[in-house]
């Protein structure tokens, strides 16, 4: 079963807003076995919208449209739907009553003629109640296909998708079962992984597909299986994942459903009852921010020192000034001193430190832009590694954060 998504609005095409609606809709459809064939964004122009409707109907079983349902003149989706279906707009008493109730309860003024237009819907449509706004959703059957028109406001659209659209699709269409499992790998590039698992990939059953999703030092390996035998598909994917662990288990960090890196590491720390502190320079507190974004992190995270300036490394973390002068502030020795000293400062089992040059200039050291030292202090000592993280400031920071979690996990699992 195929679906297409059409987003309507000049604001998307001029970059004024980011289309997050399509990603949400595609995810929700995928959960019930509906594959999205194409996502299209079109201007608020009748001819472009009509063309998008025609093309989508030729390919998909369900066409979901967002945007253009407001009461102003530039909101033309309803009129264009009527033109496409040879229909007319009629006033829906159900929608009008809802709009009047919203105005009475939240605005305390009578509705204007413009607001009353929200109650106009194509005569052949089934109204989908929008609990959070005045623009209703509409469900229209045409030539064995279904057109669904929804408001573009994200929280209104999400409610309609979950409470109205998905249940209707489940009731009216037969769909296959789709299963996704995604493994997270770190430390090895996409092409190197592909070479290692080439024989395994070539031997995959025809109903299982593999996708490589690289980003900031990590590669996600997504297995997608589709069919009618839910239990059989699950067992087959489990078997293939076990085979993958046997080939590249040393670089598999976890699965997407287990959460982000900070969640995976946090669960290990909590389970083993270990504690952690961080000392950050070039990452500027980004490691601590990721750690504390996880509910319950206070059980294992004691604190952080953001020693961005050289003076802070000396005065707060007690890094010897002579070491900085002799070895450079961006060095293995300084990274190790930062990690060991913050571990002692907070009396923790483990500590992470980062020192490097995120650019665009060289700053307090002669280290090239992208040079980062990451140190891990543990019950058995401290070590540091040097990495070259590229030349894009934000990517340097995020890659350093991800690499820090990777190194920490490997170290924790030794104990």
Instruction: Give the domain CATH number at 91.
Output: 3.40.980.10
Q: Phi and psi of 298, rounded to 5°? A: -65, -15
Instruction: Give kind and range of the element (H or E) at residue 137.
Output: strand 137-142
The verdict on 367 and 250 lying in the same domain is no
The verdict on 312 and 345 lying in the same domain is yes
The verdict on 135 and 194 lying in the same domain is no
pLDDT (0 to 100) of residue 225: 94
The verdict on 197 and 295 lying in the same domain is no
Which of 236, 255, 274 is the C-terminal boundary of a domain? 255
The verdict on 7 and 112 lying in the same domain is yes
The verdict on 284 and 146 lying in the same domain is no
3-state secondary structure of 349: coil
Query: Model confidence over 136-187: pLDDT tens digits?
Result: 999 999 999 999 999 999 999 999 999 999 999 999 998 888 899 999 898 7
Instruction: Give kind and range of the element (H or E) at residue 85.
Output: helix 77-85
Structure-block tokens of residue 97:
């009553």
**Residue whose pair of structure tokens reads 């707009």 in the numeric block:** 89
Structure-block tokens of residue 180:
């996704």
Provide the Cα torsion 105, 106, 107, 113; round to 10°: -70
Provide the Cα torsion 290, 294, 297, 302; round to 10°: 10
CA distance 334 to 323: 7
Q: How many domains does the chain have?
A: 3
Q: What Rg do the C-alpha atoms of the chain give, in angstroms? A: 27
pLDDT (0 to 100) of residue 259: 60
| Burial grade of 295 (CB within 10 A; 0-12, 13-18, 19 or more) | exposed
Q: What is the DSSP letter of 391?
A: S
Bridge pairing between strands 137-142 and 126-128 = antiparallel
Task: Tell which residue, 75, 163, 162, has the closest CA to residue 118.
Answer: 75
Which of 233, 255, 277 is the C-terminal boundary of a domain? 255
Number of CB atoms found within 10 A of residue 171's CB: 7
The verdict on 296 and 227 lying in the same domain is no
pLDDT (0 to 100) of residue 257: 58
pTM metric for this prediction? 0.64
Instruction: Give the domain CATH number at 342.
Output: 3.90.950.20
The verdict on 273 and 125 lying in the same domain is no
Task: Find out whether 305 and 315 touch, Cβ atoms under 8 Å.
Answer: no
The verdict on 120 and 165 lying in the same domain is yes
The verdict on 89 and 20 lying in the same domain is yes
Task: Find out whether 336 and 382 touch, Cβ atoms under 8 Å.
Answer: yes
**Residue whose pair of structure tokens reads 């890659």 in the numeric block:** 399
Instruction: Give kind and range of the element (H or E) at residue 248.
Output: helix 230-248
The verdict on 284 and 248 lying in the same domain is no
The range of the structural domain enclosing residue 93 comes to 2-172
Instruction: Give the domain CATH number at 213.
Output: 3.30.70.2860
Which of 255, 273, 290 is the C-terminal boundary of a domain? 255
E strands present in 216-334 = 218-227, 252-255, 276-280, 301-306
- Tallying the residues shown for the chain, one arrives at 415
CA distance 332 to 11: 49
Tens of each residue's pLDDT in the chain, 415 residues: 899 999 999 999 999 999 999 999 999 999 899 999 999 999 999 999 999 999 999 999 999 999 999 888 888 999 999 999 999 999 999 999 988 888 888 777 778 888 888 999 999 999 999 988 889 999 999 999 999 999 999 999 999 999 999 999 999 998 888 899 999 898 788 999 999 999 999 999 999 999 999 987 789 999 999 888 989 999 999 999 999 999 999 888 888 755 678 998 999 999 999 999 999 999 999 999 999 999 999 999 999 999 999 999 999 999 999 999 999 999 999 999 999 999 999 999 999 999 999 988 877 788 999 999 999 999 999 999 999 999 899 999 999 999 999 999 999 999 9
Structure-block tokens of residue 251:
């670089």
- Mean pLDDT computed over every residue of the chain: 93
Query: Model confidence over 325-377: pLDDT tens digits?
Result: 999 999 999 999 999 999 999 999 999 999 999 988 877 788 999 999 999 99
pLDDT (0 to 100) of residue 403: 93
Tell how far CA 30 is from the center of its chain.
15
**Which residues are paired to 220 by β-bridges?**
184, 213
pLDDT (0 to 100) of residue 258: 53
Instruction: Give kind and range of the element (H or E) at residue 376.
Output: strand 371-378
Bridge pairing between strands 137-142 and 276-280 = unpaired
The verdict on 107 and 191 lying in the same domain is no
Task: Find out whether 375 and 353 touch, Cβ atoms under 8 Å.
Answer: yes
């Amino acid at each position: 079963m195929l679906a297409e998504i059409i987003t309507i609005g000049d604001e998307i095409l001029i970059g004024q807003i980011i289309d997050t609606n399509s990603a949400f809709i595609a995810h929700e459809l995928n959960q019930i076995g509906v594959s999205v064939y194409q996502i299209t964004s079109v201007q608020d122009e009748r001819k472009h919208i009509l063309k998008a409707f025609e093309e989508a109907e030729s390919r998909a079983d369900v066409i979901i449209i967002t945007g253009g349902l407001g009461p102003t003149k530039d909101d033309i989706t309803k009129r264009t739907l009527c033109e496409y279906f040879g229909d007319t707009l009629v006033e829906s008493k159900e929608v009008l009553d809802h709009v009047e109730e919203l105005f009475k309860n939240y605005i305390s003024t009578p509705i204007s003629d413009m607001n009353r237009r929200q109650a106009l819907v194509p005569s052949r449509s089934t109204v989908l109640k929008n609990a959070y706004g005045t623009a209703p959703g509409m469900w229209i059957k045409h030539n064995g296909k279904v057109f669904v028109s929804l408001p573009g406001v994200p929280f209104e659209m999400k409610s309609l998708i979950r409470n109205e659209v998905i249940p209707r699709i489940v009731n009216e269409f037969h769909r296959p079962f789709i299963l996704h499992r995604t493994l997270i790998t770190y430390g090895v590039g996409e092409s190197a992984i592909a070479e290692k698992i080439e024989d395994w990939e070539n031997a995959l059953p025809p109903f299982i597909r593999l996708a490589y999703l690289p980003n900031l030092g990590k590669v996600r390996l997504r297995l997608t299986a589709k069919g009618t035998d839910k239990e059989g598909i699950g067992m087959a994917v489990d078997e293939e994942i076990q085979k993958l662990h046997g080939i590249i288990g040393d670089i598999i960090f976890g699965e997407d459903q287990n959460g982000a890196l900070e969640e995976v590491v946090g669960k290990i720390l909590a389970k083993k009852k270990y504690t952690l502190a961080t000392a950050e320079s070039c990452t500027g507190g980004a490691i601590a921010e990721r750690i504390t974004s996880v509910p319950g992190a206070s059980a294992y995270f004691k604190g952080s020192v953001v020693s961005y300036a050289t003076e802070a490394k000396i005065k707060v973390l007690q890094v010897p000034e002579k070491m900085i002068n002799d070895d450079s502030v961006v060095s293995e020795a300084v990274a190790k001193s930062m990690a060991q000293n913050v571990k002692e400062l907070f009396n923790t089992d483990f500590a992470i430190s980062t020192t490097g040059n995120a650019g665009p200039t060289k700053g307090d050291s002669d280290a090239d832009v992208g040079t980062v030292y990451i140190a891990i202090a543990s019950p058995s000592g401290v070590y540091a590694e040097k990495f070259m993280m590229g030349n894009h400031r934000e990517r340097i920071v995020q890659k350093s954060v991800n690499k820090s979690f990777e190194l920490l996990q490997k170290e924790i699992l030794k104990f």
